[in-house]
Amino acid sequence: MNPPESLPGPLAGLRILELVDETGQFCGKLLGDLGADVVKIEPPGGEHSRRIGPFLDDIPDPERSLSFWYYNTSKRGITLNLETTDGRQLFLRLAIAADVIVETFRPGVLTSLGLGYESLSKENPRLIMCALTPFGQTGPWRDYASSDLLHMAAGGQMASCGYDESDVPNAPPIAPGGGNAWHMGCHFAYIAIMAALVSRSVSGQGQYIDTSIHEACALTTESAIANYIYRGEVLRRQTGRHHAAGPTPRTQFRAKDGNYVCALVAGRLNPRYIGQLADLLDSYGMAGDLKDAKYQDPAVIAANTSHIIDDLVASFIASLPAEEVYHAAQQRGFTWGAVRAPEVLLDDPHLHDRGFWKEVEHPELGRSFIYPGEAAIFNGSPWRISRRAPLIGEHNTEIFCDELGLSRAELAVLIENRVI
């Protein structure tokens, strides 16, 4: 059940300072959407991630990056130049009152500015500071440059994703899209921060966390590591299905409308399943010989696996639109799904039932837009987007004047001097 809108989120009362580039902003979004007061600190003029497209109406502008919009919901935004003494002093005043700092500077940078955990925690021993970097704070690769694609290569994602030779000859290993290296790093960073917060809620002590995106990715290939460690196997890439030590039957079938269906059939073919499959196919007049009594013999099933999958299931799916196959199969208990382009999700009634889509106001534009919402429904403290991403320095007055007590005149001087 959806909770009342008036309840605070589960992280209400926490103050997070976010000093991150495009690699860490999803972590701050998670914290913010879950109710924490996330203050994003950008360099004067705005963080570089504002320059990543696509842009509103395709007009490039740091206030129109949809990528920035998406990953910075539920945050407030201020600008601060940490390379100036004034900037560092203001940051120290914010750090004293902060619960968590998330930062993605290269290893050593904050310490060289006098803003490392050791000095900050002297003033604020409850402080939790999470560094999220491509390779961590130590080791031979710690200063190496990275990108989403680089992490998907080194982390093992690409070694597992690609095509059957019969589908795409000489295909390269494929890095799935969407910027998921950053997601993987941010999920683990969020877990580490929350563990430190739970610990602090008992002990009163903060701590320093060194999170590595490379390690997060290297952990995210399911059984690939176990296959190697326990059996010495290196797995092969296959079209639209699991990596495997040897070829496995296909699970992705083209439907009548040109879309694909993910139908996990192989490995489940026993007499009972065949009976259900025959009923499903028969309801569309597509059962072929599958209702024949011979298929109650497991040996006959095994000998006809290719016929069942590549002839009967493939023909059935080819005769219908993908969405129809998906729902007809699921309604009968089959764990199948349509391979959808993301935009199709806007019409998914299940997501509407869950209140998933959120209308987020952009008052400066006089418009509001639909955003994807939350992964889970918390019935006692809602996970929800509280506001659109901040404009550059949007909350400078709120934070520096109302909270830290600078006068408007002082703020003006600091802006003139590119401190703020």
Partner 1 sequence: MSQPRALANIRVVDFSWVRAGPWATRWLGALGADIIKIEWPENERGRLPSTTTPQTLEVNLNTSGNFADTNVNKKSLSLNVRTAKGLEIVKRLIAISDLVIENFSSRVLQNWGLGYQELCNIKPDIVYVSMSGYGHTGRHHHYTTFGPVAQAVSGLTYISGLPDKPPAGWGWSYMNDTGGMYGAMCALTGLYHRNMTGRGQHIDLSQMVASVPLVGPALLDYTVNGRGTFRAGYPPGNRAHWPGTPLVNNYRGPTVAPHNAYRTSPGEYNDWCVIVCHSDDEWQRLVEVMDAPSWAASPKFATVIGRLQHQQELDEQIEAWSMTLGKYELTERCQAAGIRAMPVQSAEDRVEHDPQLRYREMYLPIEHPALGTYKVQNAPFKLSETPASNHLPSPLIGQHTQEIVEGLLGYSHEELRAGFADGTFWPTKRARFPYMEEMLR
376 is a site residue for partner 1 (CB under 8 A): yes
- To the nearest 10°, the Cα dihedral for 12, 18, 22, 25? -10
Judged by CB under 8 A, the chain residues 220 through 279 that form the site for partner 1 are 220-231, 234-243, 245, 251-252, 254, 260-262, 264
How many residues appear in the chain? 420
The residue among 228 and 284 lying less far from partner 1, judged by its C-beta, is 228
Give 285 or 366: the residue with its C-beta nearer to partner 1: 366
| Rounded CA separation 127/117 (Å) | 9
Strand-strand pairing, 75-79 and 367-371: unpaired
Q: Is 69 in the site for partner 1 (CB under 8 A)?
A: yes
Give the range of 38-46, 63-71, 79-87, 394-402 binding partner 1 by CB under 8 A: 63-71
Q: Which of residues 275-314 bind partner 1 (CB under 8 A)?
A: none
Considering the rule CB under 8 A, would residue 105 count as an interface residue with partner 1? no
* DSSP helix/strand/coil, 244: strand
Among 40, 50, 76, 183, binds partner 1 (CB under 8 A): 183
Question: CB under 8 A: which stretch of 81-89, 133-141, 285-293, 394-402 binds partner 1?
Answer: 133-141
Please identify which residue in 38, 98, 120, 154 interacts with partner 1, judged by CB under 8 A: 154
97 binds partner 1 (CB under 8 A): no
Which of 193, 419 has the CB closer to partner 1?
Answer: 193
Min dist CB 420 to partner 1, Å, is: 27
CB of 46 to partner 1, least distance (A): 16
Indicate whether 404 belongs to the interface with partner 1 (CB under 8 A): no
Q: From residue 107 to residue 126, what is the string marking binding to partner 1 with x (rule CB under 8 A)? A: ----------x---------
Residues 50, 135 contacting (CB under 8 angstroms): no
Residues touching partner 1: how many (CB under 8 A)? 156
d(CA 117, CA 123): 10
Closest CB to partner 1 among residues 215, 403: 215
DSSP H or E stretch at residue 353 = helix 349-353
DSSP, res 248: -
Name the residue among 396, 393, 377 with its Cα closest to residue 33: 377
CA 179 to chain centre: 8
Collapsed DSSP state (helix, strand, coil) of residue 162: strand
Contact yes or no for 176/162 (Cβ under 8 A)? no
Count CB neighbours of 398 within 10 A.
12
Q: Which residues pair with 414 in a beta bridge?
A: none
Q: Which is nearer to partner 1, 159 or 420 (CB)?
A: 159
